[in-house]
Amino acid sequence: MSATSVPPGSRPLSGRVALVTGSTDGIGLASARALAEQGCTIVLNGLGEPAAIAALCDELAAAHAVPVGHAAADLRQADQAAALVPEALRRHGRLDILVNNAGTQHVGPIETHPPERWREVFALNLDAAFHTIRAALPGMRERGWGRIVNIASVYGLVGGVQRSSYVASKHALVGLSKAVALETAATPVTCNAICPGDVSTRIFYRNAKLLAEREGIAREEAQRRIASASMPSGRVVSPAQVAALVAYLCSEAAAEIRGAALPVDGAWTAR
């Protein structure tokens, strides 16, 4: 049965409102899709051309028969990050699910890492989640249900070279997830982190294309080589696989998964 043929109200998350940050592309968009499929009203957030974003909202709404809107906010800016949840509450009167997904990274050795870029990475990867969580929690507590999912990274669990701000901010995001899980442990609100390995978002395909051209190999071989560099599986993780875990963490079955940092990483961190 296709998602569109499911009558409204019969899906597990029908009536829930979900805000997914950084959801105009990549893992965030896949997560928004997965939650819409379960019946959630969706508040997208992320950068992009207004016309493209409007088309995306229409497409998602039509595919899953749920309301979908976009709330603009550059989450590097504290005031905009702090205003995002109040905007979702103003529109829908409730916020049940918060997925902190928007993130960025700076690649290069720490000696040459520009301090302003360090601040920017932390602002988006960590501070934005602080602002959205503190704004979302009171309503979740009051309504007696809530799910907070923070998209961290394997770099929230292990180190990596040439990405000090990314590693530090993602470790901090895992720490924040644990702290919030403890503060909410006796309530029906849960908070967890997901730690993906290499995911096949736009940048992965771009890198694989460049490698294929440089080495004169097929794109599939280039993709396998990139994935194998870090993941014993030799296979890249799909955005939909991460999104499926987001949806699972929002299910009733996951009500007692709290403060976890769950890898989806082809055994990267198993070694």
| 166 is a catalytic site residue | yes
Rounded Cα distance between 185 and 141, Å, is 11
Catalytic residue (one of 155, 166, 205, 248): 166
Which tokens go with 242?
């991460």
Q: Is the dihedral of CA 20, 22, 27, 30 positive or negative?
A: positive
Minimum distance, C-beta of residue 103 to ligand NAD, in the bound complex (Å):
2
Minimum distance, C-beta of residue 44 to ligand NAD, in the bound complex (Å):
8
According to DSSP, the residues that pair with 70 across neighbouring strands are: 44
Q: Is-contact 242 196, C-beta < 8 A?
A: yes
Q: Residue 19 or residue 181: which is nearer to ligand NAD going by CB?
A: 19
> Nearest Cα to 227, choosing from 187, 186, 268, 176?
268
Where are the extended beta strands (E) located within the chain? 17-20, 41-44, 68-70, 97-100, 146-151, 189-196, 261-264
Rounded Cα distance between 19 and 183, Å, is 21
Rounded Cα distance between 1 and 5, Å, is 7
Q: Is-contact 261 193, C-beta < 8 A?
A: yes
Minimum distance, C-beta of residue 85 to ligand NAD, in the bound complex (Å):
14
Residues making contact with ligand NAD (CB under 6 A)? 22-28, 45-48, 74-76, 101-104, 124, 151, 153, 196, 198-199, 201-202
Q: Is-contact 170 152, C-beta < 8 A?
A: yes
Minimum distance, C-beta of residue 206 to ligand NAD, in the bound complex (Å):
11
Q: Residue 104 or residue 269: which is nearer to ligand NAD going by CB?
A: 104
> Nearest Cα to 166, choosing from 209, 206, 129, 126?
126
Minimum distance, C-beta of residue 173 to ligand NAD, in the bound complex (Å):
8
DSSP secondary structure of 32-44: HHHHHHTT-EEEE
> Nearest Cα to 247, choosing from 197, 207, 192?
192
Q: Which sequence positions are flagged as catalytic?
A: 166
